[in-house]
Chains A and B, each alone.
Chain A
């Protein structure tokens, strides 16, 4: 199996106890990529990233190179790093920020140079107290080392970076809500068009917003070339990716794997990865890419970990987080808890999302707690259909951002795959798993 031969692009240092320090970083080739980038033209650096076919690692999977090239004609004013990782069961950026903050910072400095940006912001979720401290320390050390600030490494390029703490709101991971928050406001997503950050972003200026993992790949790409990165993986899914595995597996954790070359079965069952379902239980279902993604059953476990492959099968690789549920799991309870999350985190701007999420949560709650009726199943699907007409994949949208259309995924999946379980709750007037 290929799983042990995966090149480590973003996790090469995490085995070191002091992986977050500048001493360890410099001792392991740190800031060499930035020096190399500064010896190239900004356009040549951007071309390498384009050649790498690096897809954004935040969840939407938009090509990073294209995100940059949309702005090539106009000067970019700001670079913003999205470190608001809050999608349930996603914990890869947490690892990268805490364990290798210099790698992330070097990626940002490289991107800033390629984009002609002189001011970059890290928006880090507020709950990452240790990550905020380590990133600020890394930044202080980088300034002292000459890698950031005035005249970086004597190249004439100057860049300032600011670490900005969030304050607890899932919606701020949505890039336009993040920009509102960074401007000191409530995290209300902006309507697109016209508020595409590339055109009208932070303070109304053209802005590039990239995810933590995306940025962390850049030092390797600059040192090894975009082609070397693109040679890994397959098709549109180039390179390696961090997969966050959680739920009922023996070894939950974050694993860096070459895309497409590994399957969900490898990830869940390989002894060096997930190690199998806990307690030797049967796999009941799994979520392939964060709680906004439709669920898969055991029959789809041989699908490769590739963006297009998962999309063709009717779901998404999303944020790269896989949640495993074993045979003892109550699917009504799982769907209810996910829906309650959306109900709590809806920003409240759009009626279908604000009202729909609350109704769905209450109906699921009453089914789980024995007060459900048979017609509740149709009611759930009907309300879901009002949020995202047709309940198709990818979902249609009636709201400003994609939080709303993400709500029906788990409900629709749970009812389609486990209808009998819902009906049993109704018939018995209680949760059969309680």
Chain B
């Protein structure tokens, strides 16, 4: 029994078809799973693993690297308050403190009604409107404590559902076409390239042999594990 709904699963298969290697679709499909469930459920990660051909642990290991992929439940609205340098200079820490007090949760927590998860974010690239706030990754402009309270009231009353879909829905515009470039032509180019690469590799081997043992000393000194 598939955890992902048939429509979501078929969208996942469409995504996989866009990439030369199926694992590339891992993160985009994680977004789709979050669109369905609001967060990344273990069942979803197992199914994604099967879809892209890796183990569930590899899906979890990848997902936990990324701030936007949530392996624990998230509120309907993820409110992200940036406190990085430009926002800091515009009073972001004070705004975050206000948000924590009025919502009754610390950054990282979710309100009891499950409506709002508050998050302290790194720079969201909207630094001329500070302090920058996003709700479910939609910009809502620079906020003051007063406007923040109105924003929360609007979210709770469902007045922003048109502009801010519930958490997990990232891209509402679907790709309209599959890949079109001539695959045979691409294959021909790839073959030519593989030939060139083999030639280069052979050349490197030849040079290496000519120069004797290369040694392992790398310029960056990062190979000591």
| Residues in B whose Cβ lies below 8 Å from that of A119 | 20, 179, 181, 186
Task: Give the docked Cα–Cα distance between A169 and B186 (Å).
Answer: 32
With A74-B197, A323-B89 already in contact, the answer to whether A130 and B139 are too (CB < 8 A) is: yes
Interface assignment of A165: CB less than 8 Å from any CB of chain B: yes
**Chain B interfacial positions (CB closer than 8 Å to A):** 18-21, 23-28, 30-31, 52, 54, 61-63, 65-69, 80, 83-86, 88-89, 122-128, 130, 134, 136-139, 170-177, 179-182, 185-186, 189-190, 192-193, 196-197, 200, 218-223
| Residues in B whose Cβ lies below 8 Å from that of A168 | 66-69
State which of A166, A192, A254, A287 has its C-beta within 8 Å of the C-beta of B128.
Answer: A254
A247 near B68: Cβ-Cβ < 8 Å: no
Chain B, Cβ-Cβ closest to A98:
B139
Q: Which A-B residue pairs are the 4 nearest by beta carbons?
A: A168-B67, A184-B26, A167-B66, A168-B68
B62 near A116: Cβ-Cβ < 8 Å: no
Chain B, Cβ-Cβ closest to A244:
B127
Q: A91-B127, A337-B83 are in contact. List 19 more A-B contacts (CB 8 A).
A: A75-B192, A88-B123, A91-B125, A126-B66, A126-B68, A126-B137, A162-B19, A165-B171, A166-B68, A169-B66, A169-B67, A183-B21, A186-B65, A187-B66, A248-B89, A254-B128, A338-B84, A338-B85, A341-B122
Task: Give the docked Cα–Cα distance between A169 and B192 (Å).
Answer: 36
| Residues in A whose Cβ lies below 8 Å from that of B222 | 191, 350, 399-400
A182 near B181: Cβ-Cβ < 8 Å: no
Chain A, Cβ-Cβ closest to B23:
A184
Interface residues of A in 295-339 (CB under 8 A from B): 321, 323, 325, 329, 333-334, 337-338
B27 near A167: Cβ-Cβ < 8 Å: yes
State which of A183, A245, A400 has its C-beta within 8 Å of the C-beta of B24.
Answer: A183
Task: Give the docked Cα–Cα distance between A347 and B62 (Å).
Answer: 12
| Residues in B whose Cβ lies below 8 Å from that of A140 | 173, 175-177
| Residues in B whose Cβ lies below 8 Å from that of A245 | 128
Q: Could you list 28 A-B pairs, sorted by A, with CB under 8 Å?
A: A86-B125, A88-B123, A91-B127, A94-B125, A127-B80, A128-B125, A136-B171, A139-B175, A165-B170, A165-B171, A167-B27, A169-B65, A183-B21, A183-B23, A184-B26, A184-B62, A244-B127, A247-B89, A252-B86, A252-B127, A253-B128, A254-B128, A323-B86, A325-B89, A333-B88, A334-B85, A337-B85, A338-B84
Main secondary structure of the interface of B (DSSP, over half): loop
Number of A-B contacts (CB under 8 A): 215
0/1 interface trace, chain A 334-378, chain B, CB 8 Å (1 if under): 100110010011010010000000000000000000000000000
| Residues in B whose Cβ lies below 8 Å from that of A334 | 85, 88-89
Interface assignment of A62: CB less than 8 Å from any CB of chain B: no
Task: Give the docked Cα–Cα distance between A421 and B33 (Å).
Answer: 50
| Residues in B whose Cβ lies below 8 Å from that of A99 | none
| Residues in A whose Cβ lies below 8 Å from that of B62 | 184-186
Task: Give the docked Cα–Cα distance between A75 and B195 (Å).
Answer: 10
Q: Separation in Å of the A237 CB from the closest CB of chain B?
A: 23
With A88-B86, A167-B31 already in contact, the answer to whether A246 and B127 are too (CB < 8 A) is: yes
Interface residues of A in 161-197 (CB under 8 A from B): 162-170, 181-187, 191-193
Q: Separation in Å of the A417 CB from the closest CB of chain B?
A: 16
Chain A, Cβ-Cβ closest to B86:
A246
State which of A118, A137, A187, A244 has its C-beta within 8 Å of the C-beta of B185.
Answer: A118
Q: Separation in Å of the A195 CB from the closest CB of chain B?
A: 11
Q: Separation in Å of the A198 CB from the closest CB of chain B?
A: 12
A89 near B86: Cβ-Cβ < 8 Å: yes
Q: Separation in Å of the B189 CB from the closest CB of chain A?
A: 6
Task: Give the docked Cα–Cα distance between A291 and B84 (Å).
Answer: 10
Most buried by B among A86, A160, A254, A329: A160
Chain A interface residue count, Cβ-Cβ cutoff 8 angstroms: 84
Chain B, Cβ-Cβ closest to A291:
B85
Interface assignment of A158: CB less than 8 Å from any CB of chain B: yes
B68 near A323: Cβ-Cβ < 8 Å: no
Task: Give the docked Cα–Cα distance between A341 and B124 (Å).
Answer: 12
0/1 interface trace, chain A 61-96, chain B, CB 8 Å (1 if under): 000000000000011010000000111111101100
| Residues in A whose Cβ lies below 8 Å from that of B85 | 88-89, 247, 287, 291, 323, 334, 337-338, 341
Task: Give the docked Cα–Cα distance between A163 and B177 (Å).
Answer: 12
B179 near A160: Cβ-Cβ < 8 Å: yes
B220 near A150: Cβ-Cβ < 8 Å: no
| Residues in A whose Cβ lies below 8 Å from that of B89 | 246-248, 323, 325, 329, 334
Chain A, Cβ-Cβ closest to B89:
A247
Task: Give the docked Cα–Cα distance between A181 and B66 (Å).
Answer: 10
B27 near A163: Cβ-Cβ < 8 Å: no
With A168-B68, A203-B20 already in contact, the answer to whether A186 and B61 are too (CB < 8 A) is: yes
Task: Give the docked Cα–Cα distance between A248 and B24 (Å).
Answer: 42
With A74-B197, A130-B139 already in contact, the answer to whether A89 and B177 are too (CB < 8 A) is: no
Task: Give the docked Cα–Cα distance between A139 and B176 (Å).
Answer: 9
| Residues in A whose Cβ lies below 8 Å from that of B27 | 164-167, 181, 184
B181 near A149: Cβ-Cβ < 8 Å: yes
| Residues in A whose Cβ lies below 8 Å from that of B123 | 86-90, 341
| Residues in B whose Cβ lies below 8 Å from that of A38 | none
Interface assignment of A205: CB less than 8 Å from any CB of chain B: yes
B177 near A143: Cβ-Cβ < 8 Å: yes
Task: Give the docked Cα–Cα distance between A89 and B86 (Å).
Answer: 6
